[in-house]
Each structure stands twice: as structure tokens, then as C-alpha cells.
Amino acid sequence: MNEHESCSMNIALTLCHQDYGAVIFDLDGVLTNTAQLHASAWKKVFDNFLLQTAQNKGTPFIPFDTDMDYLVYLDGKPHYDGASAFLKSRGINLPWGSPEDGPDVQSICGLGNLKDSYFISHLQQKVIEVYESSVALVR
């Protein structure tokens, strides 16, 4: 077997909770279904940004697609990296900025921080679905 074949092997493991004193789960997307909330927050950020950009440049406004754009560029990535990848796909270059950038700063970090504020607002307004199959693992 060469090195490429070994990378593509699927291995199934069975874990017994009696064998472990503690287990750490990522809450977001593992124990709770928050993908739609993330996608919705990104849509709000990017639609506002893309509309403003289109108006400033006199180009057509093409909205953020929560199905395709979210899955391809943002899902599962750190939010600044995802924002950068999405903007690059649209031919938009923004400075990276700083994690301390406020939501009014036109930077990758500023947009990511704005998304986080929308996401937190969504969390406070909605009931979050729990993945029962994941929760069953900790019982």
C-alpha cells in the first residue's frame, strides 16, 4: 500500500463511554444544529456589503447564496478565512485588518466580527435544535 492509499482508508471505531473519564464536544454544529444561523448571519453581512459595493461600482448586485456560497466558502472554516475566500471568489480584495476591528471597519476581520454579532443576535432570538444522536453519546 502506498502513502496515498493509506490516506483514503476509512476506519470505524467504537467508543465505550466507560473507557473515558471525560469527553469534549464542539457544541456548534456537533451537539447543536447552528449551520442555518451561521448562513443567515453571513447572508446579512454579505448582502449588505455586496449591495453597497455594487452601488459604488455601478455593477449588478449578486446576493450571497446561503446554499452554495455558504457551503463552498464558509462552512467549517474559521470565520476570517471563510470571509476572505468568499470575497476572493467575487474578485473583492479587502485588507485583513485586526481581530479588534469593529463591525464598521471595511476589513476581513471587520466583516467577520459583524457576522459574529449577527450570529449572537440570532442565538438570542431562536430555539436551537439539538442533535439527539450526539447527545446520546454523552448519556
Cell numbers that stand for 109 in this block = 476581520
Q: Which of 28, 47, 75, 116 is catalytic?
A: 28
Catalytic residue list contains 104: no
Burial class (CB in 10 A: 0-12, 13-18, 19+), 8: exposed
- Whether the Cβ atoms of residue 74 and residue 38 lie closer than 8 Å to each other: yes
Residue 28 is a catalytic residue: yes
Q: What is the DSSP string of 69-97?
A: HIIIIITTS-HHHHHHHHHHHTT------
The set of cell numbers assigned to 85 is: 475566500
* Cα 112 from chain centroid (whole Å): 10
Active-site entry in 19, 26, 67, 104: 26
For the chain, the first-to-last Cα distance in angstroms comes to 39
Locate 51 and state its grid cell. 449591495
Indicate which residues carry an active-site annotation. Answer: 26, 28
